[in-house]
């Protein structure tokens, strides 16, 4: 012991050591308790987001926004095979393929209205590659049976 060390200082140091370890134990315990509280909440939030994404995905017969390549394929098909210009194209998701409802430019002769049957087409669009599609013209159904994905 040095000249300045006294009995009180030695006791004080021991008490400080005990308090230091108590503080450290309380601090690490609080981090664990926060983790125990927030982990279940985080898991519930992640599960809710996953469920929302799953239920908001389009199902069979739902209208979808077709990709640019799909839209371009339908437009080119109408020009080359049907010799018509497509005005409006609406896509529907089916099981294994897409169903397209196409409204073509009215013919000048014989005169026709936009919504006449002669200006309407139904196409089956099957994706064959990343950006390639195989198209097939379907017969135009009766007005009451014009339901997407029903052939």
Q: Where are the domains of the chain?
A: 1-57, 63-145
Q: How much is the pLDDT for 30?
A: 66
Q: What is the pLDDT of residue 5?
A: 54
**pLDDT on residue 17:** 58
The residues, any chain, with a CB within 8 Å of residue 97's CB and separated by 6 or more, are 124, 125, 126, 127
Provide the 3-class DSSP secondary structure of residue 136. Answer: strand
Which pLDDT score, from 0 to 100, does residue 63 have?
Answer: 87
Q: 7 with 14: CB under 8 angstroms? A: no
| pLDDT for res 69 | 93
Q: Mean pLDDT for each consecutive 10-residue tract of the chain (151 residues)?
A: 53 58 58 81 95 90 89 93 90 92 85 79 91 90 82 66
**The CATH fold of domain 63-145:** Nuclear Transport Factor 2; Chain: A, (3.10.450)
Q: Is the pTM of this model over 0.75?
A: no
Return d(Cα 9, Cα 6) in angstroms, integer. 5
Q: How far apart are CA 1 and CA 4, in angstroms?
A: 8
H-run or E-run covering 141: none
pLDDT at 27: 57
63, β-bridge pairs: 92
User: What Cα–Cα distance (Å) separates residue 8 from each residue in 11, 13, 15, 19, 128?
Assistant: 5, 9, 11, 17, 87
């Amino acid at each position: 012991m040095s000249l300045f060390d006294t009995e009180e200082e030695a006791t004080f140091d021991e008490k400080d050591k005990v308090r230091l370890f108590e503080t450290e134990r309380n601090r690490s315990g609080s981090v664990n308790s926060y983790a125990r509280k927030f982990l279940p909440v985080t898991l519930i939030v992640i599960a809710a987001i996953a469920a929302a994404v799953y239920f908001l995905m389009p199902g069979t017969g739902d209208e979808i926004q077709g990709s640019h390549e799909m839209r371009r394929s339908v437009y080119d098909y109408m020009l080359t095979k049907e010799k018509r210009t497509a005005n409006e194209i609406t896509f529907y998701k089916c099981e294994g393929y897409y169903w397209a409802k196409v409204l073509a430019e009215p013919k000048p002769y014989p005169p026709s209205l936009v919504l006449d049957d002669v200006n309407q087409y139904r196409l089956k669009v099957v994706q064959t590659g990343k950006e390639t599609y195989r198209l097939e013209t379907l017969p135009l159904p009766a007005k009451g049976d014009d339901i997407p994905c029903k052939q």
